Structure 1
């Protein structure tokens, strides 16, 4: 069993306190590359962003951006090369001197100059975008209270509501947790140099922060909800940036659009289109293009069966060039793909998971963040044409030293003959003479994949403690073609659970793993599969269920995503069979394995009542249970010190029940 060296910090402490690369931005001329790096503050209570300069050529070391301060984040560039970002700075007054710009504001920082606040809003700005060729136009998203039309009237209403937190919903409270807390609604504002912000949201362009400008700054596009009767549908609105007057709208019943990008000539809008899963239809995602003149919608990936869940498309900056690049899951990786004008798809990277793509102005080079199961995000450079290339790594913060183990794969066949795979992390020292205990960790989602580095539920703290970790991709995982969705449709606790068990059996056929010492831990949908396993099998010595679902009937009435889950499971009064088949609480009598429950008090995705109900059943049945509760956390555990507590508690729980060691209450 691998143990930390005497005096050395446990690996999970190093992980919780490590700096994280989270975003990239490339200057219009391709000469400057800016990375957002989040580091833990001195108290260990939060991650503080900072902007770093990365040399695109790789010749010079990275360094903090001159003139940037801790807290600056969301970097982007104006057309003239001015660095734009969001941040809060002490002593920054609003333009009118009335304090109406307090909170997160939009700043401009010329190279070698001083940051200037160019836009603010009461309670802050959420997100922004800049025009590619018009240096004077930006669009940003901020809240307005009902009846307010601009920052001034919004601030006045905030003052009137001082000490009041009541909110009256006259239509529906659905999706209230997906926006900023409070009664305000997101609106899009367009700001031109020397002018006042135009409330494009006044013409119905309220949105979620997904807003883009055309390259010349003349058009702004945003998404908004269709109506309360169609929660699975949204509308893309394209409006005049100067007046907010609507030009075009695009929608399709049962579909939602995200992550927009105008083409370089401004004639089309490229979006991700998503059809959510129902009991009878599979989840499906593709990239589409809207022709702004004709209104025609074109599927850009009609025959691409990787089912990659493509990320935001990066369009060629060269007018007239219809090439675009995107990322998407593929069999345990998340490569970069190039789509040519004729529809040809080329995979540009051989391994790893890529994000935050940036393309140079001549369209010949890409910069990105690359991570993998065994590597945190790093800044890399790629060319835009070579298939299956290996990237050039650039100097930037965020690197991590040697990991306490090795990474390999496990493959097997499911009960329907489908080919399954999983990542397997092996701790140092695992061998036939010293087989390692195994921890099985199904992912959340369920539409997701173990393809990238994660900061919570990371396998390496467990490997550092001597555990092998299996990361299975069962039915409903992304990156395995549409068939992977079809085979899991309508059976949350059926085939995906059986796939996890099949991969577990395949892993335990290895002679360097100990089949008598196994455990399972999952978060979100993985927590649901953990609860499913707890009622179906006694093979595991311990089970950890984090933010999981237990009583599906109660869950789909309480969750912020109730409309989505109602489509999958139907009305419990008319589709009792679906709930009886898939809701673990119906099989509570099968509980016998010691369980650790982990939940956040502000979790609106999987509400706290799910954990409380499971905890009650476990106590009623006399099953050993512990409950790790984070009152201030949501669906994920994010505060660095909380992450430390999470890992230490889970590791000690596993050591006790899997390895037979005395229980140790975490010091914190």
Structure 2
């Protein structure tokens, strides 16, 4: 089949199955998507296809206001019939993992504590194998011979609370490491292995089950970017380094013949922002081959899942981002050629392959629809929707998503996702909210929630479709410093945060005004973490924005350096600590100019944020209050840098919408009934 024909079929399949504008039949639309509607969305969290490809296990999450969390449900879906079978519901469920024969499914669940459980397909019975774990295992894999189940978890002894009568914490204390445990199926016993390896962040069984490859870190510190590939002998527990060098080397994956291991690597560079490339190492000689030159330089590897070998060992499959898309790619190891398997402007998440690599299951979402379950078969891998989780969304009036392109401050092409109200007239100018992503190394994707890199929950800090339903356009730009456009683009902000990237953003606002979408007198600004920092930089440079909503913001870089869990990030971007790079740290700190801000600002922060201390928002609130600038500060008592409470998600969306209504609309009026309360009516 020629490429044009294949592309056309793929686009047609996606259009019909996602309800995109290309659909032949459009359902009658009811009302704009509300916050209440957002909090009824079910989220496809994980996907695992059986080795034979007949069943797909999925984890679905949905908001639970009674418990102020998300309720997880584990299902299997029959590929032939689409029939669903519920395995586990009402508990927190993670990491479904099939046995090699596809007869059993292991998974992690939490009731009163964490457990590794097993579901038998034939009998329908579920059995807890390992209980009372101190934390949720972060990875779960059967051995190829079905003798053992490996899992990563904190050491139980190290996790026990201190018996000291003084409730004190030691700053800088070593975090509890994740160890590799092996559960023996026959004996029912679980033992740890490779304790000398330190903290383990990933592992992979050799095809003969006799060895395990580890992604090993010296410590469990968040800022520790040093990861090496080690080997451990299952019979003896003896371990040794295979790839040991600066930077990250992680997510090992064995070739079918057991002679090579593919993994993601920083290619020996320890720079915090160094992109990952695919490497292959010979297990016997330890000779490393970097495949960076065989891959498009603009691709950003998704290292949350390991690379996958083809059945014949001649190719490796991987997931990567380019611009605002995320796709599945195949890298031919003989020809050193990389081709994109998936097509269309959509986001491919949580991909899972059968043993023979002839079938792929995946979560796919688009600007018009949250993630649904698809399967695709070789050789063309055209997607077929197997399960639609949120048919009600097709009945809602969503914003219209398009790609906006413009020239950046350096002349480089810049793009962003522009969402406009569905009922906007062609010549109608509407208030524009500029939504800035975190990072700096991050990017907006052409998905239902543009900044959400994982599959669930697809809520996001800024509910773009809710805001579009309230009459706003939303611009989500990928300025200099973003992922998905190559290393030079990513490093363009080194030592000058808030300079070139801010100029790119403001040029995008000018373009939205030029094409007649944005009302230049009604501009808003929002972002979280680095997006909030960049927003703060903008507010100290211009008064063109009439309102700002900032989450987890910061403005004094030296102060944040001294309190954050990732000081190495600042050293990497600025070439050293504040006492060595004082001029750059001070120049890029907007807190020193915060007294000049006249734009009304809403501040949101979690009090236990270890990435960005909430004292930064407190300081900004004090400054703005003293100079008479309208400002509000709301802090949440729980949660770290990421908050996973359903009520808090709903409340954040409500606060965002009402703040912009207050300052960007001539007559905002009372909040809509569906959005007035935290819980849906």
Does 2:99 align with 1:105? Answer: no
Compute the TM-score of the two structures, normalised by the length of structure 2.
Answer: 0.85
Alignment of 1:366-515 (within 5 A): 366-386=360-380, 391-399=383-391, 400-401=393-394, 402-451=396-445, 452-454=447-449, 455-456=459-460, 457-515=462-520
Question: How many residues were matched structurally?
Answer: 623
2:82 maps to which of 50, 57, 60: 60
> What's 2:13 paired with?
none
Alignment of 1:119-134 (within 5 A): 119-131=130-142, 133-134=144-145
Query: 1:10 and 1:396 mapped to 2: Cα distance?
Result: 18
2:129 maps to which of 104, 118, 121: 118
State the Cα distance separating 1:653 from its structure 2 match: 0.7
Does 2:669 align with 1:652? Answer: no
**CA pair 165-61 structure 1, distance change in 2 beyond 3 A:** farther
Compute the TM-score of the two structures, normalised by the length of structure 1.
Answer: 0.87
Alignment of 1:142-221 (within 5 A): 142-144=153-155, 148=157, 158=161, 161=163, 166-168=168-170, 172-173=172-173, 176=175, 184-195=176-187, 196-208=189-201, 210-221=202-213
> What's 2:24 paired with?
none
Query: 2:184 and 2:560 mapped to 1: Cα distance?
Result: 46
State the Cα distance separating 1:602 from its structure 2 match: 1.9
* Mapped contact 2:229–2:252 kept (Cα < 8 A): no
State the Cα distance separating 1:259 from its structure 2 match: 2.8
**CA pair 523-234 structure 1, distance change in 2 beyond 3 A:** same
**CA pair 143-107 structure 1, distance change in 2 beyond 3 A:** same
Query: 1:192 and 1:517 mapped to 2: Cα distance?
Result: 63
> What's 1:98 paired with?
none
2:589 maps to which of 573, 583, 591: 583
> What's 1:96 paired with?
none
Query: 2:182 and 2:276 mapped to 1: Cα distance?
Result: 30
Alignment of 1:12-161 (within 5 A): 12-41=35-64, 43=66, 45-57=68-80, 59-65=81-87, 70-81=91-102, 82-89=104-111, 103-113=113-123, 114-131=125-142, 133-144=144-155, 148=157, 158=161, 161=163
Alignment of 1:238-317 (within 5 A): 238-253=231-246, 255-274=247-266, 283-304=274-295, 305-311=297-303, 312-316=305-309
State the Cα distance separating 1:227 from its structure 2 match: 6.4
1:544 maps to which of 546, 549, 553: 549
Query: 2:220 and 2:149 mapped to 1: Cα distance?
Result: 30
Alignment of 1:522-533 (within 5 A): 522-533=527-538
* Mapped contact 2:194–2:239 kept (Cα < 8 A): no
**CA pair 606-403 structure 1, distance change in 2 beyond 3 A:** farther
Stretches of structure 2 that go unaligned for 5 or more consecutive residues are: 1-29, 450-458
> What's 1:329 paired with?
321
> Superposition RMSD on alpha carbons, in Å?
2.7
**CA pair 21-538 structure 1, distance change in 2 beyond 3 A:** same
* Mapped contact 2:524–2:664 kept (Cα < 8 A): yes
* Mapped contact 2:97–2:107 kept (Cα < 8 A): yes
State the Cα distance separating 1:316 from its structure 2 match: 3.0
State the Cα distance separating 1:275 from its structure 2 match: 7.3
Query: 2:436 and 2:490 mapped to 1: Cα distance?
Result: 16
**CA pair 403-322 structure 1, distance change in 2 beyond 3 A:** farther
CA deviation map 1:198-219 (0-9, x unaligned): 32142234324x2332233222
State the Cα distance separating 1:364 from its structure 2 match: 2.1
**CA pair 418-10 structure 1, distance change in 2 beyond 3 A:** closer
> What's 2:631 paired with?
625
* Mapped contact 1:443–1:449 kept (Cα < 8 A): yes
State the Cα distance separating 1:85 from its structure 2 match: 0.6
* Mapped contact 2:42–2:61 kept (Cα < 8 A): yes
**CA pair 36-580 structure 1, distance change in 2 beyond 3 A:** same
> What's 1:4 paired with?
none
Alignment of 1:597-616 (within 5 A): 597-616=603-622
CA deviation map 1:254-296 (0-9, x unaligned): x113333222222222222247999x99632212122221112
